[in-house]
Structure 1
């Protein structure tokens, strides 16, 4: 058992929401493991910015408004980079038609779930769409940092999850990114990816909604 991934999953999937105190003993009993791997997992999660040390164990971190905005700004820059790199690889003939079709499928699933009002599935598929662009970029360092930022944003915005105010606009933004990558246009791909993340940040900041 990978205790780190198990505890991370409990946090990111909402079993332990933002602000929730968690003790080592509780995790040991839940996972059926000793304190040593739990302690190591919590150290890593603290480094990831998902928990902070408390009097007894840890507390799941909730980013304040400024920290959340900063996380989105970093995400915007990194997703611009991964979209640019993916488009460069497409221009060089390194992406297969199947991989591009898979990217479209992720966008389709995100749009379908959102329009059907399945917010949890919508968020999951939306994240998968962006993660897959990171995979197509073939830059593990960027994808690793993005994963950490996505985790922080997911945990901190779950409580305000409501029906998105702009489902059509979100899908249109996804399609623009896909089109630029498919055409092998790095500049357009980066610009569209950055604009999409910043638009999402603005909606969240202004209306308290995750889209």
Structure 2
């Protein structure tokens, strides 16, 4: 793992939460590296929208309400695209039964963690589930942008993480998406993916953490 990945992980996993300043010296000492790779990592992370330059080092970015809504709208479009592509590949015989079984497994893990009250694990498994849909779509450009948007959303909503009031509905939305992909129905898959993200966005201010 390079310095960029290490620093990104510290931010996304919450070691450095939104609003916290980070100095180059602190990262050098924590990671045991020189300032050059740390400076380059912070420059890349600024381009990713995760940090912004501050007087001493950088500060972890927290999206304001409009920026967060914008991020969700972009995510909705991209996840509709990846779901559509995954369903099309299923229709064309490019996905294997093992691919679909793995998608179901990711949904199971997300649902189990959420129902057990392990919110951090629930969010992590949710992200893996959605990320695997993107993997099945075989669209690296979309996947790359989604990773950046997911990072920004994760960092900006961590402080409002609470037990979801609609775990059954969230899981049902995941299952509908799986069914549409398994049926090889691109239009239905895209619609379910878009509606799921927009539903999450609509309750975000009251019930953070439902992804």
Name the TM tier (shorter chain).
over 0.9
For structure 2, the residue ranges without an aligned partner over 5 or more in a row are none
| Aligned length in residues | 210
User: Which whole-Å CA distance do the structure 1 matches of 2:146 and 2:164 have between them?
Assistant: 22
After TM superposition, the structure 1 = structure 2 runs for residues 145-164 of structure 1, keeping only pairs within 5 Å, are 145-164=145-164
User: Which whole-Å CA distance do the structure 1 matches of 2:59 and 2:144 have between them?
Assistant: 23
- Give the equivalent residue in structure 1 for 2:13: 13
Question: Closer, same or farther in 2 for the Cα pair 1:167/1:208, shift >3 Å?
Answer: closer
Shift in Å, 1:165: 1.2
- Give the equivalent residue in structure 2 for 1:126: 126
User: Which whole-Å CA distance do the structure 2 matches of 1:209 and 1:148 have between them?
Assistant: 19
For structure 1, the residue ranges without an aligned partner over 5 or more in a row are none
- Residue deviations 1:144-184 (CA, integer Å, cap 9, x gap): 00000000000000000000011000000000000000000
Mapped pair 1:194 → 2:194: yes
Shift in Å, 1:6: 0.2
Does the 8 Å contact 2:176/2:192 carry over to 1?
A: yes
Runs of 4+ in 1 over 6 A off after TM superposition: none
- Residue deviations 1:3-39 (CA, integer Å, cap 9, x gap): 0000000000000000000000000000000000000
- TM-score, length-normalised on structure 1? 0.99
Mapped pair 1:98 → 2:98: yes
- TM-score, length-normalised on structure 2? 0.99
After TM superposition, the structure 1 = structure 2 runs for residues 27-66 of structure 1, keeping only pairs within 5 Å, are 27-66=27-66
